[in-house]
Structures are given as C-alpha cells and as structure tokens.
Copies of this chain bind each other. A is one copy, B any other.
Amino acid sequence: MSSARNFSVALRRARIPRPQCWLRPIIANRAAVPAARSFSVSSVVGGNTTREIKYTTNAYPELKRNPNFAEITEQDVKYFKDLLGAQSAVIDGVTADATDDIEPFNADWMRKYRGHTKLVLKPQNKEEVSQVLKYCNEKKLAVVPQGGNTGLVGGSVPVFDEIVINTSRMNKIRSFDEASGVLVVDAGVILEVADQYLAERDHLFPLDLGAKGSCHVGGNVATNAGGLRLLRYGSLHGNVLGLEAVLADGTIVDSLSTLRKNNTGYDLKQLFIGSEGTIGIITGVAILCPPRPKAVNVAYFGLESYDQVRQAYKEAKGHLSEILSAFELMDGRSQKLVHESTGSKYPLEGEYPFYCLVETSGSNAEHDMEKLEGFLEHIMGEGIVADGVLAQDETQFQSIWRWREGITEALSHLGGTYKYDVSIPLPELYQLVEDCRERLTTMGFVGDDDSFPVRAVVGYGHMGDSNLHLNISVRQYNKEVEKAIEPWVYEWIQKRNGSISAEHGLGLAKKEFIGYSQNDTMLKLMKQLKTLYDPVSLAHFSTSFEGTNNVLAWDHEPLQVHLGIKRLHGV
C-alpha cells in the first residue's frame, strides 16, 4: 500500500508527479482505426506475416446463397451508372476489372469475413438511395448497406455477391442549433468529424468510441452503438430525435424531427435504432448534443481483486455522481498485451490483476477536482485501490486512455481474436472471463508457444454499463477453439439473464444465437416486422429466426446489415 499512500500524499501536494512514461509522445490518436479505403485484404499482421483473408463462404460452408435472388447483370450495372453517374463512384467488378479497388468493401477490419461483391454503389442522398433500393427490390438483387466498415460481427460486408450500398458520399453536416444543441447530419458523416464540428461550437457528440475516426453516424445509429460515455449521456434511443431512412421498396421515411418532445403517434424511428440496417437504410440523423464539458479528468488505478473493482465503481457513483463520464475495467492480461504491443512503460509501478479507468466531465474544473480528490482519498484510505495516477495534461489524458483503447489494436497484432461483447449483471461480470480461461486451459488450448492455438483470454469493458468484452486471442482462427467457446459462452450468459450482444449487434457472428437472449414471442414479433418492411424476403422465412430474417433482400442473415458499423475501441 506504500504507493497508494504516496499517491495520496502527492494528491495533497501538487497532485501526482508526472512519471517518465507520460513524457513520451502519444503513440497514435485515440481513433487510430484504418479507414475502409486504406484497408487491404493482404496486409501485414503481427509485424511480420502476410496473410490472405478467407472468404466467409469458405470459412462457413454451411452458408448457402439463396437462389431466388438474382445475379447482377451488365444491364443492372448500366442502370446504376446511368442513375448515379461517375460522381457516385460506382466501383464495378462486373463490366470492368475492379478487384483491387473493391476488396476493401468486401472484407472486414477484423480480417474474419470476406464477401464476393462485384458492385459498390455510393449514393449521395436519400433520393438516390430510394431509387437504388426500389430497383434492387424489383429485380430481387440482394444488398448490404455499409458505412465505415468498422463492425466487429461481420455485419458490414457481403457474404455472397450482395451489392454494397456505401454511405460515404452522404457526408454533409446539415444544420446545428446552438440554443437547443440539435445536430442534423447525413448518415455518412464520420463520427469524429461531427464531434470536431461540435467542439468548435462548444458541444459534444453524445457518443464516443474507438472507431470514431472511421465509423459513420448513420451506422452508429443503425447498430445502436454504446461506447464509452453511455454511462453519462445515455443511449441513442434517448438522444436521437429524428431519422430519415429508406425502406426496402424505396419508400423514403422522413421522420427527421428536431424536437425534444413529440408525442404524436408511434415513435417509428426507434425501430431503426439497433436494427442493423435490416428494415431500411438510414440516410439522415437528428441528435441532441450536450454542451462540451469544460473540465475533463482521468485517473487510472491498480486493484487486487474484481471485488475491489466493484467497490471502486460503487464509490465512484457516490462521490462523482453527475460528473462521472466513464468507468472502464481492464484486467491485468489486457494491459500486459498493450505493454508488449506498444512497448510503453506501465502507468503504475507494480503489476495488478485488475485496473480501472475513471473519467469525469464537468463544467467547473475546481469543483470536479475536489470531487475527484474526495473520491481518491476515500478509495485509497479504505484500501479499495492499491495504486493510481491522475492525468495532469492532455498528453497524459490521451496516454491513459491509450491503455484502455489500445487493447483492440494490441490484440489485432497477435493474430485472430474471438470477441464476445456481452451484458452480465455486475456481481458475475468478470467470472465469465475466469470460467472461460479455465475451460480453455483445461482443454489444452492455452499456452505460450505456437503449438497452442490460444494465446490469452482477456476481459475488459464498460463496467458502468455492465458490459464486458471477453476476448480470446488466438494464433489463427481455429474451429476447435470456436466450438469449445460456442455455444458454451452463450449458455453461460443465458443462465445469468445477460445479453449475448451488449453493443456490437448480431451481424453474421451471432445471428444464430439470438435465442439465448430473446424468447420465442419476441423472435416471432421481430419476424413480423421484418416481413412488414421487407416483404420480398418473406418467401424465405422458415420457422426459426436463424438464417431466415433476411437483410433487405438477402438470404442468410437475420439482423445483419450494418450501416456504418461501429468498431468499438475496446473490443
């Protein structure tokens, strides 16, 4: 506890001295996600190997293309080129050779999924989206909407030859009203661009996540992205005031209200939030944005047990209350991976089995610091945390966040990752990681040399939202390991009344497991809605939700199509 005492003393003096590691330059900005355009199917992995991404159809041969859907013809391509023009950047592998250009739209960021699309369309507005969808609906051409292609569940890329409808050219900020804080944007506006625009106007986008540099606002809404500050600013179901979207038959739904209160009939826009593009393509978003906090602080702690993490969270809620804007959990293994991957010196002297990151955002720096000091003194006095540091400037702020947000990137350098983004009641949140690690170890999968498929089982996530990210780092994607994890992990979650997808959505990865988190009545009602909004795929419904509830006009995916999919920093 000596370092904790030192910490406490330091606080009383001039607050924490800067450790050497803070003085190093920040490795990258927080949103260091490659944009879809710069992505390559054959890129360097782990710094020294080159590896092709497998086609999804090879990795999952049980997926069958529905023959009722048409194959794209040269006439179709001509129609789209005439309709959209050269400006809409039609990338065409049907009448021309566009193999290299088209691959970034076929494969996902995780290098786990890869489709066979031959056509990418980039409509510029809702009218163009409407015309494209109307045509596809009539011709029975399957489509997959795509935004920043940063999703983690294989929802933003095709599996077969679905036409990709990319939102990147719908990228205008339409309006912002300073009095009400309401921002209206095209669906393809990049989250970080929107937030920077708001920063210049003293406001904040009420959503933040690691992929902010690439993901599209429309995709965030389509996937009901949660991210880092849901704890403080609430969910998109509360913050999105209006939506503009296009249904499968081309119907334009204009519900782009900018009013905070509007109780005139059913709140239809809510259906689009989190439906992953399966009932329509979002083209515009109106969202309520809070004033930008004038003071932001971040602290990083080492703790001896998960029980202490829970205690620290309880105390943070009590002491920090309205200024608490993030409470993130990282286990020791996840921090070790970041350390090994970046070479950065640990923020704390010793190593601990658990770490947490606490952020405050408020309007008065002095008040916030007093609250934070009260919190720190309490948790250190009670021995809840073993050691901690508090960022003293923007560089340190970014650096501390890097230990949380860098986990995904660190994992990506090690090979493949089986990612599970789940909600579990707090008392048992971390137990899943321990149980999973024990299971895979007992089965002989985990080890330090290359003969073991599993490198590490790590856990981290948004503690404040009961949202755990269980990540199993593998040397390569491995069917035996996958079978050892699934459906075991879903059964584990179901027993605790958790959710098998907290914030990433179902996509292709979890579509067949929805029954672990939704009952038969709910599945039946969801199918009804899919049928209502996309009747063309009606004929392909079976009695089960699995593999039936099609994406617009696509055969194998229940809730698949992400529109500008999120990739969460932390997953």
**Chain A residues with a Cβ under 8 A of chain B:** 177, 179-180, 223-224, 226, 230, 234-235, 237-239, 251-255, 257-268, 270-271, 273-275, 279, 291, 293-294, 310, 314, 317-323, 362-364, 367, 370-371, 423, 425-427, 462, 465-467, 497-506, 510, 514, 517-519, 521-523, 525-526, 528-529, 532, 558-559
CB-CB under 8 A from A529, the residues of chain B are 266, 268, 532
CB-CB under 8 A from A261, the residues of chain B are 226, 230, 235, 423, 462, 465-467, 499, 502-503
CB-CB under 8 A from A314, the residues of chain B are 179
CA distance A26 to B187 in the complex (A): 52
Specify which of B270, B318, B466, B519 is in contact with A254 (CB 8 Å cutoff). Answer: B519
Q: Could you tell me if A262 and B521 are in contact, using CB atoms closer than 8 angstroms? A: no
**Count of chain copies:** 2
CB-CB under 8 A from A362, the residues of chain B are 321-322
Q: Could you tell me if B423 and A259 are in contact, using CB atoms closer than 8 angstroms? A: yes
CB-CB under 8 A from A498, the residues of chain B are 259
Q: Could you tell me if B270 and A271 are in contact, using CB atoms closer than 8 angstroms? A: yes
The 9 closest A-B pairs by CB, nearest first: A238-B238, A321-B363, A270-B270, A261-B502, A262-B499, A367-B367, A264-B517, A259-B423, A234-B238
CB-CB under 8 A from A279, the residues of chain B are 266
Known: A238-B234, A426-B180. A259 touches B291 (CB 8 A): no
CB-CB under 8 A from A317, the residues of chain B are 291
CA distance A16 to B500 in the complex (A): 55
Specify which of B260, B310, B363, B370 is in contact with A465 (CB 8 Å cutoff). Answer: B260
CA distance A465 to B241 in the complex (A): 12
Please, which residue of chain B has its CB at the minimum distance from the CB of A261? B502
| 21 residue pairs A–B, Cβ–Cβ below 8 Å | A180-B426, A234-B238, A235-B261, A237-B237, A254-B519, A254-B521, A258-B425, A258-B497, A261-B423, A261-B503, A262-B499, A263-B506, A264-B510, A265-B274, A266-B526, A267-B273, A268-B522, A268-B526, A293-B322, A319-B363, A528-B532
Q: Could you tell me if A518 and B265 are in contact, using CB atoms closer than 8 angstroms? A: yes
Q: Could you tell me if B230 and A260 are in contact, using CB atoms closer than 8 angstroms? A: yes
Please, which residue of chain B has its CB at the minimum distance from the CB of A502? B261
Please, which residue of chain B has its CB at the minimum distance from the CB of A325? B322
Specify which of B239, B253, B510, B514 is in contact with A522 (CB 8 Å cutoff). Answer: B253
Specify which of B234, B237, B265, B426 is in contact with A526 (CB 8 Å cutoff). Answer: B265
Q: Which of A266, A275, A370, A526 is most buried by chain B, counting CB atoms within 10 A of its CB? A: A266
Please, which residue of chain B has its CB at the minimum distance from the CB of A513? B264
- Expressed in whole angstroms, the minimum distance between the Cβ of A406 and any Cβ of chain B is 22
Q: Could you tell me if A263 and B224 are in contact, using CB atoms closer than 8 angstroms? A: yes
- Expressed in whole angstroms, the minimum distance between the Cβ of A544 and any Cβ of chain B is 13
Known: A259-B498, A266-B274. A367 touches B371 (CB 8 A): yes
CA distance A264 to B516 in the complex (A): 9
Q: Could you tell me if B466 and A264 are in contact, using CB atoms closer than 8 angstroms? A: no
- Expressed in whole angstroms, the minimum distance between the Cβ of A163 and any Cβ of chain B is 24
CA distance A465 to B467 in the complex (A): 31
CB-CB under 8 A from A518, the residues of chain B are 264-265
- Expressed in whole angstroms, the minimum distance between the Cβ of A148 and any Cβ of chain B is 17
CA distance A179 to B465 in the complex (A): 11
- Expressed in whole angstroms, the minimum distance between the Cβ of A135 and any Cβ of chain B is 20
- Expressed in whole angstroms, the minimum distance between the Cβ of A291 and any Cβ of chain B is 6
Q: Could you tell me if A262 and B517 are in contact, using CB atoms closer than 8 angstroms? A: yes
CB-CB under 8 A from A262, the residues of chain B are 423, 499, 501-502, 517
Please, which residue of chain B has its CB at the minimum distance from the CB of A267? B274
CB-CB under 8 A from A258, the residues of chain B are 425, 497
CA distance A253 to B522 in the complex (A): 7
CB-CB under 8 A from A239, the residues of chain B are 234, 238
